[in-house]
A and B are shown apart, each in its own frame.
Chain A
Amino acid sequence: KNEVEQSPQNLTAQEGEFITINCSYSVGISALHWLQQHPGGGIVSLFMLSSGKKKHGRLIATINIQEKHSSLHITASHPRDSAVYICAGMNSGGYQKVTFGIGTKLQVIP
């Protein structure tokens, strides 16, 4: 069974800190999807990547295929970054099925 594990499960940071959330995945997953779930419950797509690195504003996502590991970095964190960040593995084999991690709850304190 494909698995996705995230760490840490909870993270508290001071405003301005550099934040890293990690995601490890098993064989059979061909791409990683990073999602943000707001305190109100809505889920927003941040990045989808199968190799290398992507950047959008203060968010950076990287993936190391050999190590089956991906990271989401937030630079100059802000209280509005407080949310649950979810890593999801896109399964290879032609199916549109996804394996989700349980999420990392981030709180950024002013």
Chain B
Amino acid sequence: NAGVTQTPKFQVLKTGQSMTLQCAQDMNHNSMYWYRQDPGMGLRLIYYSASEGTTDKGEVPNGYNVSRLNKREFSLRLESAAPSQTSVYFCASSDDSPYEQYFGPGTRLTVT
């Protein structure tokens, strides 16, 4: 039972490059989330998915796209990376009630 897994753990991109962050959970959770964490700020929601086939914007969606491939997998894509997207990205999943969230190990992304 791996919980929530994310790949890669570290990534360096040049401005304008694209990449996809992968997330998978094996807890049969309906809800999945992508957050970014920046120094001096709380975790901020980028996108979330309440169920397979649905996605919704969070607080900071600009510059990102997501895909809920199936119940287990939720990917985050940066189409054209910018230095402002340098951050640590966390994927999480939750049960339906009371929505207690379980986090992946994070991806540290640097855009130069």
Chain A residues in contact with chain B, CB under 8 A? 4, 31, 33, 35, 41-45, 48, 50, 86, 88, 90, 96-103
Contact of B48 with A48 in the complex, beta carbons under 8 Å: no
Apart from the given pairs A33-B101, A90-B99, 13 other A-B contacts in the complex at a CB distance below 8 Å: A31-B98, A31-B99, A41-B106, A42-B103, A42-B106, A44-B103, A48-B100, A50-B98, A90-B98, A96-B48, A96-B94, A100-B42, A102-B40
Q: Is B41 an interface residue (CB 8 A)?
A: yes
Contact size class for B? 20 to 34
Known A41-B106, A97-B48; contact A102-B99, beta-carbon cutoff 8 A: no
Q: Give chain A's interface secondary structure class.
A: strand
Known A41-B106, A42-B106, A43-B90; contact A96-B99, beta-carbon cutoff 8 A: yes
**Which B residues between 41 and 78 are near A, CB-CB below 8 angstroms?**
41-45, 48, 50, 58
Contacts of B98 in A (CB 8 A): 31, 48, 50, 90
Contact of A101 with B106 in the complex, beta carbons under 8 Å: no
Contacts of A88 in B (CB 8 A): 42-43, 101
Known A41-B105, A41-B106, A43-B90; contact A99-B99, beta-carbon cutoff 8 A: no
Chain B residues in contact with chain A, CB under 8 A? 31, 33, 40-45, 48, 50, 58, 88, 90, 94, 98-103, 105-106, 108
Bound: A33/B48 CA distance, A? 18
Contacts of A43 in B (CB 8 A): 90, 103, 106
Bound: A74/B10 CA distance, A? 33
* Smallest beta-carbon distance A92→chain B, Å: 11
